[in-house]
Amino acid sequence: MYTTTQTVNTAPIHPFGQEIVPTVLTEQTVKAAVDSFTKICGAVEVIDDDPTDFAHGKKIDGIISFVGDITWSLILVLPFRSAEMMAQKFAGFEIPFDSEDMGDVVGELTNVLAGVLCGGLESVGVHSQMSLPTVTSGSDFEQLMSENLITQRLFFMTNDHHFMVKLVVARHK
């Protein structure tokens, strides 16, 4: 079980010129994912290595962008089985992967994660405003990122199902 840290590296919060995602974003994202999905699904564990190949198979992505002190995006990646489990836990009833409601729920799950994350960032002095969620689903796909973007992938596990949160931050030109 991951224990969230109380000390947060708030400086530097500006990503320009850095080749890594700012620490404050990574730390607050991990904390927000653990806090919000623990409330929805039960215990959430942080995993160090990529447990599965997230590029292959059926999956659904929820994407939210942020503006404010840092401009960045967050992608919640849910493989087919994980999506069905989390949707059931969140909505309280079964939602088939291919149904219209699945997009609705994944958008809402991404929204919840982003909202908790915004609150966490605000508590350490980082102001951000989030967009509405966008949802993409299908098989064997991956979101393409420009070379001017820095990405970081964070892996989690809950109820024997994996999910990933991908952070995307602009690199200074």
36 contributes a contact to another protein by CB under 8 A: yes
Burial 155-166 (b: 16+ CB within 10 A, else e): bbebeebbbbbb
Q: Cβ 165 to another protein, closest distance in Å? A: 15
List binders of another protein among 68-107 (CB under 8 A).
90-92, 95, 101, 104-105, 107
114 contributes a contact to another protein by CB under 8 A: yes
Q: Is the dihedral of CA 107, 112, 115, 117 positive or negative?
A: negative
Give the binding-site size for another protein (rule: CB under 8 A): 24
CB nearer to another protein: give 14 or 39: 39
Q: Cβ 132 to another protein, closest distance in Å? A: 6
Q: Cβ 39 to another protein, closest distance in Å? A: 5
Rounded Cα gap, residues 123 and 32, in angstroms: 12
CB nearer to another protein: give 51 or 68: 68
Rounded Cα gap, residues 69 and 60, in angstroms: 29
User: What is the amino acid identity at position 137?
Assistant: S
Q: Are 158 and 43 in contact (CB under 8 A)?
A: yes
Q: Cβ 128 to another protein, closest distance in Å? A: 9
Q: Which of 25, 85, 112, 168 binds another protein (CB under 8 A)?
A: 112
Burial 66-88 (b: 16+ CB within 10 A, else e): beeebebbbbbbbbbebbbbbbe
Binding site for another protein (CB under 8 A): 36, 39-40, 90-92, 95, 101, 104-105, 107-108, 111-112, 114-116, 118-119, 121-123, 130, 132
